[in-house]
Amino acid sequence: MKYAVDNRGYYGRFGGAYIPEMLYPNVEELRTRYLDILQQEDFRREFDDLLRNYVGRPTPLYHAKRLSEACNAHVYLKREDLCHTGAHKVNNTIGQILVAKHLGKQKIIAETGAGQHGVATATVCALMGMECIVYMGEVDMARQRPNVERMRILGATVVPATSGSKTLKDATNEAMRHWINNPTDTHYIIGSVVGPHPYPDMVARFQSVISEEMRKQLEEAVGNPFPDYVFACVGGGSNAAGAFYHYLNDEHVNLVAVEAAGHGIHSGESAATTALGKPGVLHGSKTLLMQTEDGQVIEPYSISAGLDYPGIGPMHAHLFDVGRVKFVSATDDEAMKAGIELGRLEGIIPAIESAHALAALKQFEFASDDVVVVNLSGRGDKDLETYIRWGKY
């Protein structure tokens, strides 16, 4: 596959494994084993069974007729919002906990920013009866109280990261430190297509079920597996990677990634990584990230917690580099309006992350027979507070 990771763990000039020496054995064990495990018959059977009977897959591909009229194209929504736990993230945590089992691990650690990945991880740990420790910045714990309590209800231990800015970056450092000290019995579940090789490739493979289903469902719905466009929002890039995966080599399918522009790309408060970012190392891989002249990571901002990330996965940095994926952005305002519009037109309140993908539809002139798929990565229940504070509905 033309855009696949190479055997050194790179996508073009991005990727690799930039990790402390002490972490090398853990990452190396995963690197040498993951492809074998993913191909094993009993792994496939258990993964497919849990996706179907626990997560609720395949998720519907819904023809949004009133939204289609408003956009002057045939718009379909890939309903990842209907997954158990309310978003696509569980596709990945199910896959990784099965990998952990195959590696003989008994404990799981994870880091979380907004708490969504922490909840998806705590969920699968409860499912498998495995011990779960989630590192979370102290500031994020205060901001995302309901998710902290969800994790605790599910039996996870939430450990506050109290250094630095007390947010995601610090939680990641704590999780890495834990993993260094507990290499033999613990697996670290990373929540997006980020981190050292092989994580970006492994997570993309788990999320690729999204476009695998899309191809079949489009074939059934319109007699052709290829849409004209696929839209997805990008935080780290896992739902986009899943939605694009089985179309990457079909160059006639336009792939659009939507970043969060916050208060505006040049406002100093945004998370529009490709517009503002430069190559650097973040979270164990070489990628594009928002940084100052002297390489300090710039704190990102977005109204949606899931897009509030200063980088993108190395696969996306490469797809941007070579022009295979078009990157656009939507501001807080545009996303909130698009989220409320979807509620009014289709009776679906989307996650504010997903609303960014919807907002980008307005930036395109479609032909009236174009087939457009929007990956609706999550549902809006978790964002009710933000919708209420926004108020304009």
Ligand X SMILES: *Cc1c(COP(=O)(O)O)cnc(C)c1O
Point out the residues that are catalytic. 89, 111, 377
Question: Which residue's CB is nearer to ligand X, number 68 or number 192?
Answer: 192
Of 52-60, 179-187, 341-349, 350-358, the segment contacting ligand X by CB under 6 A is 350-358
**CA-based torsion, 354, 360, 361, 367: positive or negative:** negative
Say if residue 58 is preceded by a cis peptide, omega within 30 of 0.
yes
Q: Which of 37, 55, 75, 87 binds ligand X (CB under 6 A)?
A: 87
Question: Which residue's CB is nearer to ligand X, number 61 or number 87?
Answer: 87
Site string for ligand X, 237-266 (x = CB under 6 A): xxxx--------------------------
Question: Which residue's CB is nearer to ligand X, number 105 or number 117?
Answer: 117
**CA-based torsion, 336, 342, 343, 345: positive or negative:** positive
The single residue listed with the structure tokens 């517009």 is 275
Say if residue 198 is preceded by a cis peptide, omega within 30 of 0.
yes
Question: Which residue's CB is nearer to ligand X, number 75 or number 351?
Answer: 351
- For residues 332 and 108, what is the distance between their CA atoms, to the nearest angstrom? 34
Site string for ligand X, 262-301 (x = CB under 6 A): ----------------------------------------
Residues 45-64 within binding reach of ligand X (CB under 6 A): none
Question: Which residue's CB is nearer to ligand X, number 117 or number 286?
Answer: 117
Tokens coding 297: 């990571």
CB count in 10 Å sphere of residue 159? 18
- For residues 252 and 134, what is the distance between their CA atoms, to the nearest angstrom? 41
Residue 378 makes contact with ligand X by CB under 6 A: yes
Query: Taking Cα atoms as reference points, which of 359, 381, 361, 357 lies closest to residue 370?
Result: 361
Smallest distance, Å, CB 209 to ligand X? Answer: 14
Q: Which of 110, 161, 234, 276 binds ligand X (CB under 6 A)?
A: 234
Residue 235 makes contact with ligand X by CB under 6 A: yes
Residue 166 makes contact with ligand X by CB under 6 A: no
Of 146-154, 230-238, 264-272, 361-369, the segment contacting ligand X by CB under 6 A is 230-238
Of 63-71, 231-239, 278-286, 336-344, the segment contacting ligand X by CB under 6 A is 231-239
- For residues 177 and 167, what is the distance between their CA atoms, to the nearest angstrom? 16
Helix (H) or strand (E) holding 365: none
Smallest distance, Å, CB 298 to ligand X? Answer: 18
Residue 118 makes contact with ligand X by CB under 6 A: no
Smallest distance, Å, CB 212 to ligand X? Answer: 17
Taking each helix axis as running N to C, give the angle between helix 89-102 and helix 116-128, from 0 to 180 degrees, rounded to the nearest 10. Answer: 40
Smallest distance, Å, CB 173 to ligand X? Answer: 20
Question: Which residue's CB is nearer to ligand X, number 83 or number 98?
Answer: 83
Bridge partners, 154 (sequence order) = none
Taking each helix axis as running N to C, give the angle between helix 199-207 and helix 209-222, from 0 to 180 degrees, rounded to the nearest 10. Answer: 30
- For residues 180 and 178, what is the distance between their CA atoms, to the nearest angstrom? 5
Q: Which of 93, 192, 208, 273 binds ligand X (CB under 6 A)?
A: 192
- For residues 288 and 14, what is the distance between their CA atoms, to the nearest angstrom? 8
- For residues 94 and 50, what is the distance between their CA atoms, to the nearest angstrom? 8
Q: Which of 31, 89, 150, 318 binds ligand X (CB under 6 A)?
A: 89
Smallest distance, Å, CB 113 to ligand X? Answer: 8
Residue of closest CB approach to ligand X: 378
Query: Taking Cα atoms as reference points, which of 294, 295, 24, 239 lies closest to residue 117?
Result: 239
Coil, strand or helix: which one is 64?
A: coil
Q: Which of 233, 258, 276, 374 binds ligand X (CB under 6 A)?
A: 233
Residue 137 makes contact with ligand X by CB under 6 A: no
Opening angle at CA 193, ends 126 and 343, nearest 5: 75
Residues interacting with ligand X, by CB under 6 A?
Answer: 87, 89, 116, 192, 233-240, 306-307, 351, 353-354, 377-378
